[in-house]
Amino acid sequence: MTVLTTEARAKINLCLFVGPKRGDGRHEVVTLMDTLDLCDEVRMQTDPPGVVEDEVVCPGVKGSNLAAEALRAFRERTGWDGPPVRMEIDKRIPVAGGMAGGSADAAAALRLAAEASGLDDRRLLEEIAATLGADVPSQVRGGLVLATGTGSRLRPLSLTLDYSVVVVRSEEGLSAADVYAEAERLGLPRETLDLARALTRTQAALSSETILEHLHNDLQDAARSLCPAIDRALEAVLAAGADHALVSGSGPTVLGVFAGAGHRERARRVCDSLTDEGWTPEPLLSRPSGPIVRA
């Protein structure tokens, strides 16, 4: 039996612009994503004794697991007929928190399956990932990525952003589908031309390396509408000294972003102060992690 391990890193949307709904029910988006050192740990045991079919164990996650779907999709697409595997996931990324924890676990499952099977084709993994959900393809590699279409058309970026993040988790969870539906009800999605302009502005900010001054999330007001407790977290993070505060993805997790001089120390102080104020769950301090090269 061999044990393979990898990190499933949390994803944040530094910019998220939502466009019109497509015929398949998904929305066109323009989004700048980055991965953090906040991560789940994923272990795969190959040919474990007593296991007769692929098995995923993830305490704290009820119902079907996207990592199990990823294993099935990998076997079907590649024809890999290796022995059954057992996958164990230690969760640290907030569940239903807008940080793509399930998508990160699915991408990790694909990387581990590729390692176990000897496959070395990241593009194929991204194609498989696209069948699992909009956030999964970007998590195969991780790092700073500009995504368009439904989120699966990826442009990895060599730019390294220097910032720190205080992650303010919530005891509540939000379904991405519910948040998008609320965004529709509120009339938040952009027309096609406006979405194209948002892409142009984002590219310009990346070229001038001023993107950390232009953080934005079109889903923020929809998430706030469904979870009013978000407002308190946004206010607390800004009052404590964050440079920017925004909802992570579809929420309800809130991010306090720190850039510029002394951002690490300032972020640490804010994280400590919020913890002392009794925030539950306790806030987490995190940093961008860069891409994952292999499992």
Helix 101-117 vs helix 122-130: crossing angle, to nearest 10: 140
Task: Tell me, yes or no, if 135 is annotated catalytic.
Answer: yes
Task: Tell me, yes or no, if 218 is annotated catalytic.
Answer: no
Which residue, chain included where needed, has tokens 């998220």?
16
Q: Which of 34, 40, 105, 135 is catalytic?
A: 135
| DSSP letter, residue 246 | E
Closest CA to 169 of 88, 254, 241, 237: 254
DSSP string, 172-189: S---HHHHHHHHHHTT-S
Q: Tokens at residue 292, please?
A: 């994952």
Taking the alpha carbons of 59, 60, 63, 64 in that order, is the dihedral positive or negative?
A: negative
Q: How far apart are CA 146 and CA 33, in angstroms?
A: 6
Partnered with residue 30 across adjacent β-strands are 17
Q: How far apart are CA 152 and CA 233, in angstroms?
A: 30
Question: How many CB atoms are located within 10 Å of the residue 131 CB?
Answer: 14
Q: How far apart are CA 279 and CA 282, in angstroms?
A: 5
- Measured torsion, CA atoms of residues 130, 134, 136, 138, in degrees rounded to the nearest 10: 100
Burial class (CB in 10 A: 0-12, 13-18, 19+), 40: buried
Q: Tokens at residue 295, please?
A: 């499992």
Q: Which of 11, 34, 54, 105 is catalytic?
A: 11
Catalytic center residues? 11, 135
